[in-house]
Amino acid sequence: MTKQYNSKNYTIEGNPFAYYKRHWHDYYKNKFYQSKLISSYVSKIQNKELVKNLGIRIPETYYCGRFEDCPGYIKKKKNIIIKKQCGAGGSYKADIKKDLRGFNVIVEECIRHFIKPEKFIIPFDYKIYMFKGRAVYVLVYNRNYQSNPRKPSFMLLDRMGNEVNNRLGLPTHRLMKDKKKVIPSKEMWNKLIQDAEHIGNTVFGEVFVRLDFYMDKVGPVFGELSPNPCGTFVVKFHEKDEVLNHETRKLLAII
């Protein structure tokens, strides 16, 4: 969560989407799926188990536990990613310099992007904005832009796969323009939306949630979810986009 995001005083009248996601706990109260609070699925371990049980692909998991207890042979596997189990934060390759000692982590298969995986070493994130189980936007996040992963590029698409980058309000050098690097086929795009809406309608049909996927040569692969997506580069999009705000007002029936 960014300092820029935390410093803002949002109101439900002025910035309904930004306000809603900051106060997501209030809207997830007393909402259950199979006798469990839906807020419990914010856990990366819990949401992977949930999605797997819904018949949707997830990366293979090799280890869950404290980083320093992870066996060496697992860390030496090729094409793995190490993630913190809780909270926001990046994914790290096995040879990372960052010290993860003391953290509970997940070591999992690194999904290979469907096109030029040797170039796009970090798989693109497909961040799907869901309102009452329906996909509204897909924000594609490419961390391979420049050598520094903190300088990503983006493409915003509607649920039909139409590019709507102008809504992001980002400078041109932050935008991807070649949809062939993002959408492998119409069939796979439809499968992405179908899988997201299956999760959304089954579990999150009364709230907002963002579902994150990858895309390999076989099709979409679930990554994780968030009821409170942040991100320095898209703060203004979250604050001012009329579609996000309109969908939030509909969700809360305050139109």
> How crowded is residue 81: how many other Cβ atoms within 10 Å of its Cβ?
21
Tell me whether residue 72 is in a domain: yes
Same domain, residue pair 97 and 115: no
Distance CA 137, CA 114 (A): 21
Look at residue 1 in the predicted model and tell me its pLDDT.
43
Same domain, residue pair 35 and 79: no
Same domain, residue pair 14 and 73: no
Same domain, residue pair 143 and 98: no
Look at residue 173 in the predicted model and tell me its pLDDT.
87
Same domain, residue pair 190 and 228: yes
Query: What's the average pLDDT block by block, 10 residues per block, for the chain (255 residues)?
Result: 62 94 95 96 94 97 94 89 78 64 91 93 94 98 69 93 96 92 97 98 98 97 94 91 97 78
Task: Report residue 54 CA to chain centroid gap.
Answer: 18
Which residue range forms the structural domain that includes residue 33?
A: 3-44+111-252
Distance CA 111, CA 117 (A): 9
Look at residue 85 in the predicted model and tell me its pLDDT.
87
Look at residue 90 in the predicted model and tell me its pLDDT.
59
Same domain, residue pair 26 and 151: yes
Q: State how many domains the chain has.
A: 2
Question: To 10 degrees, what angle do helices 44-53 and 186-203 make?
Answer: 110
pTM value? Answer: 0.92
Same domain, residue pair 180 and 132: yes
Same domain, residue pair 39 and 124: yes
Provide the CATH number for the domain around residue 25.
3.30.470
